[in-house]
Amino acid sequence: MGIQYNGTKRMFKLDTAGTTYIIGVTEEGYVGHVYYGKRLRQFGGGYLMRTQEAPFTPSVNQREKNSFLDFFPMEYPTGGIGDYRESCLDVRNSAGSMASEIFYESHSIEDGKPALEGLPASFGKADEVQTLRIVCKDPVLGLQVILLYSVFEKEDVITRSVLVENTGEEHLRLEKVYSACLDMENREFEMVNLCGSWARERHIKRAGVRPGKQLVSSVKGESSHQEHPFLALVTPETTQETGEVYGMHFVYSGNFIAQAELTHFGYVRMVMGIHGDEFSWRLAPGEHFQAPEAVLTYSGSGLGKMSRSLHDFYREHLIRSPYKYKKRPVLINNWEATYFEFNTEKLLDIAREAKKNGIEMLVMDDGWFGKRNWDDNSLGDWTVNEEKLTTGLPDLVRQVRGLGMEFGIWFEPEMVSPDSKLYRAHPDWAVQIAGRTPGQSRAQYVLDISRKEVRDYIYECVAKILRSAPISYVKWDMNRQLSDIGSACLPADAQGELFHRYVLGLYEMQERLVTDFPGLLLENCSGGGARFDPGMLYYSPQIWCSDDTDAIERLRIQEGTALIYPLSTMGAHVSDCPNHIVERNTPFETRGNVALAGTFGYELDITKISEEDRAQIAGQVEQYHRYHGLIQTGDYYRIASWTDRKPYDCWEVAAKDMSEALVTFVQVLGQPNMHSVNIRIRGLDGGAGYRLEGTSEVYTGEELMECGFIVRDVKGDFRSKLYHFMRE
């Protein structure tokens, strides 16, 4: 399969369908990075490690060992020994010194892929993936470091993770454990990342890599609205279809760092892992620490190829839900319809009207529990407010299901309100520093889910509600970041473990949830898109993309998200106008067309919208059913971007068998004295004919891809159009 070892040359060659990754081992046992790029049929040697030139290896020139360490392209660099670039592993011994130096000891190659203890991770069958384990050892510390590489040949993806084991006799402290490193010669790389804030998450940013360190990171206890655990290095002039791309993505939902460092020798060191700030981990003799997984992919054909590789990989090897390829119900959520002002009859009014228009699920959002009439109380008190739901939750669910609809519900299990029965009974359950009043955000504290008794309480609250009625869907929300980092149950020398233990606790709870309720459709959310990351996809097949549902603002958000995630993972709804966040008015048709590029649903009071808008819903729902299979499984192509100063936005989904393609065109701003727009379709069979749905027009695939298609019937601001091409 994809991994070969040449014992004579001491080199590993990892091949996917289109890429090759090469690792070399020096005479001393340093593990070096040799090559990552276009697939090579053969490779002669490790000359790219440059060990045959000054300062040479330490066995040849011990007097210049530090010069060697500061230049050698390390596969997994360690700190404190003379490599002054960013380290991936920092270890402090019992005497207080920080240094580690690891050397190759052995390796093994196996079919399949091991799970990672307590962590979300990719998976695959024995004929789909092969795993290389390189065992390294620090002989002074008695520390074993196992570098794990899994090769997913079909998807052009290699995953990396690290297992650190204390096989010595002294107590150690890990102060940094990253998951992956790439040392490469700089080719005038530019850095692509995703950033933003609440209501404008994951905007694509691109800038040249300059000397020094450039990074994206989060220390908020979540992957965050502001940054994203993704980084790509691209060669100059890279487009959707041309140029080289090195992408790295972190399968983790907490603090992270993704960094590119341009050194004085013209090398770029690209690293990814758990952020070292406020992280430390006790490692007693016999104990181990498992780092999360990083996903690597290389594209020699631009950003579009990277996107499609990652989409295929996440669909096939990370998302486990039975809803991965199942048609998901079109839902209507009452949040922007009612906020906290609802009761049983109001929800049923919405459900009855929604059912008439083909909507298939009612989701009851925040405000159904405790005395929750505003957002300043009752989190943690997960009992039904029967002043609102006067006949109880089971009866409401029974009535909704009696209409022929499914029922969903909102929780925010990780949080507690100071004004709650739970907090009054257990104030020590909140994350806080002794002697300090913890800071509130949205009038709430964070529960310390590193503690088993807290996790068990939360889980039982959620499970009890789900056992009380046939509930099909859960929206799991988290509306604030972590602060005041302290745990009442961790000793003083372990407080640096809290951030990571929190994330492990979250994963444990969601694993229990999807195991105990295997048919549940789970959607994760964090104030919108603050925890939209690969770690959460392991538990939920979709994540709420952003609290901003404005169709025009969503163009940027969804473009950035679709750069690395399948469209089927993006929670997207049609909402009312003026939009509740930006106060913009957009046509109902455009709102529907933009939401179609995600999970598709509604977030409005269907009983109050105009007859003109309501009349379009049945057609939009029918459109979703017609195209959902294509959108879930097809290849994504970005044709044009409004962020590139164009007056329009355009994307396409093409069937993998090239039988059909759906193109979405959004004219953001109309322009005076301009002609029609020519767009070039992708992913078609050049020799086949394609009929444009709703017309008698037939084009050859070659014409559409090479000559283009003329868009001439979209007039005005914020207008949109779908074009569906079907092979004859």
For residue range 331-352, what is the model confidence (pLDDT) as tens digits?
Answer: 999 999 999 999 999 999 999 9
- Tell me whether residue 547 is one of the annotated catalytic residues: yes
The band of 1, judged by pLDDT with boundaries at 50, 70 and 90, is low
> Residue 427 pLDDT > 80, yes or no?
yes
Q: Contact, 373 vs 367, CB < 8 A?
A: yes
The verdict on 148 and 245 lying in the same domain is yes
Residue 44: is its pLDDT beyond 80? no
> What is the distance between the alpha carbons of residues 450 and 501, in angstroms, rounded to a whole number?
5
- Residue count of the chain, please give it: 728
Predicted confidence at residue 36, as pLDDT, reads 97
Tokens (6 digits) for 454: 């807290």
Choose one of 633, 650, 678: the last residue of a domain: 633
- Which strands make up the sheet holding 406-411, listed edge to edge? 570-571, 542-544, 521-524, 473-476, 406-411, 361-364, 331-333, 601-603, 574-575
Q: Element (H or E) spanning 13, and its range?
A: strand 11-15
Q: Looking at 572-656, which runs of residues are DSSP E strands?
A: 574-575, 601-603, 635-640, 648-654
Residue 620 shares a structural domain with residue 667 = no
What does the DSSP 8-state code read for residue 389? S
Does residue 504 share a domain with residue 598? yes
pLDDT digits (tens, 9 = 90+) for 193-241: 999 999 999 999 999 999 999 999 999 999 999 999 999 999 999 999 9
Question: What is the per-residue pLDDT for 623?
Answer: 97
Three-class SS state of 140: coil
Taking CA 41 as the corner, what is the angle to CA 36 and CA 46, rounded to the nearest 5 degrees?
55
The stretch 441-468 carries a mean pLDDT of: 98
Q: Do residues 287 and 242 share a domain? A: yes
> In the numeric block, which tokens belong to residue 310?
């990652």
> Within a 13 Å sphere around the CA of 548, how many CA atoms are in the beta-carbon half?
23
For the record, the structure tokens of 650 come out as: 């355009």
Instruction: Report residue 506 as tokens.
Output: 């979250």
DSSP 676-716: -EEE---S--TTSEEEETTSS-EEEHHIIIII-EEE----S
Q: pLDDT tens, 374-389?
A: 999 999 999 999 999 9
Tell me if 262 sits within 8 A of 225, measured CB to CB: no
Tell me the pLDDT tens digit for each residue of 291-307: 999 999 999 999 999 99
Same domain, 66 and 189: yes
Q: What is the CATH number of the domain that holds 587?
A: 3.20.20.70
| Domain limit, last residue, from 266, 283, 317 | 317
Q: What's the CA gap between 714 and 706, in Å, rounded?
A: 22
Of the residues 477, 548, 613, 649, only one is catalytic, namely 477
Question: What token pair was written down for 525?
Answer: 């959310």
Is 324 part of a structural domain of the chain?
A: no
* Of residues 561, 646, 531, the one with CA closest to residue 203: 561
What is the number of domains present in the chain? 3
pLDDT tens-place string over residues 602-660? 999 999 999 999 999 999 999 999 999 999 999 999 999 998 888 999 999 999 999 99
Looking at the structure, do residues 278 and 357 belong to the same domain, yes or no? no
- What angle in degrees, to the nearest 10, is found between the helix axes of 452-468 and 498-516? 30
Say if residue 599's pLDDT is above 70.
yes
Q: Sign of torsion, CA 513 515 517 521?
A: positive
C-alpha pair distances (Å), 373 with each of 303, 379, 450, 641, 690? 46, 11, 30, 42, 55
Write out the two tokens for 360.
Answer: 């298939």
Q: How far apart are CA 599 and CA 624, in angstroms?
A: 9
| The token pair that represents 125 in the structure block | 């069958």
479 located within any domain: yes
By C-alpha distance, which of 596, 576, 600, 602 is closest to 587? 576
Asked if 419 and 504 sit in the same domain, the reply is: yes
Q: How many angstroms separate the CA atoms of 69 and 65, rounded?
A: 6
Mean pLDDT for the stretch of residues 312-316: 98
pLDDT at 673 over 90: no
| Domain annotation covers residue 323 | no
What are the φ/ψ torsions at residue 463 (nearest 5 degrees)?
-65, -35
Closest CA to 334 of 233, 422, 409, 418: 409
Mean pLDDT of 428-456: 97
Rounded distance between C-alpha atoms, residue 90 and residue 101, angstroms: 10
Is residue 74 one of the residues assigned to a domain? yes
Q: Are 383 and 427 in the same domain?
A: yes
What is the token pair recorded at 385?
Answer: 């407010």
Indicate the SS3 state at residue 19.
strand
Helix (H) or strand (E) holding 118: none
So what's the pLDDT on residue 130? 98
Q: Which residue out of 547, 613, 635, 649 is catalytically annotated? A: 547
The two three-digit tokens of residue 117, written as one number: 């203890």
pLDDT level of residue 45 (50, 70, 90 thresholds): confident
Q: Are residues 697 and 613 in the same domain?
A: no
pLDDT tens figures, 124-134: 999 999 999 99
User: Are residues 259 and 394 located together in one domain of the fold?
Assistant: no
- Asked if residue 592 and residue 651 are part of one domain, the reply reads no
pLDDT-based confidence at 569, cuts 50/70/90? very high
DSSP 74: B
Flag whether 325 is in a domain: no
Question: Which of 43-47, 139-143, 325-329, 409-413 comes out lowest in average pLDDT?
Answer: 43-47
**What is the model's pLDDT at position 92?**
98
Range of the domain at 79: 3-317
Q: Which residues pair with 635 in a beta bridge?
A: 654
CATH number at residue 722: 2.60.40.1180
Q: What average pLDDT score do residues 77-91 get? A: 97
**pLDDT at residue 681, rounded to an integer:** 98
Distance, CA of 553 to CA of 663 (rounded, Å) = 19
Q: What is the mean pLDDT of residues 70-89?
A: 97
Residue 651 lies in a domain: yes
Tokens 């690792």 sit on residue: 23
Active site residue 477: yes
322 is a domain residue: no
DSSP 335-374: HHHHTT---HHHHHHHHHHHHHTT--EEEE-S-SBTT-SS
Domain end (from 633, 658, 676): 633
Mean pLDDT of 681-693: 98
Rg (CA), the chain: 27
- Domain identity same for 441 and 397: yes
Q: H helices then E strands: how many in the chain?
A: 13, 39
Query: Where does residue 484 fall: left (phi above 0), alpha (psi -120 to 50 degrees), or beta otherwise?
Result: left
Residue 218 lies in a domain: yes
CATH assignment at residue 96: 2.70.98.60
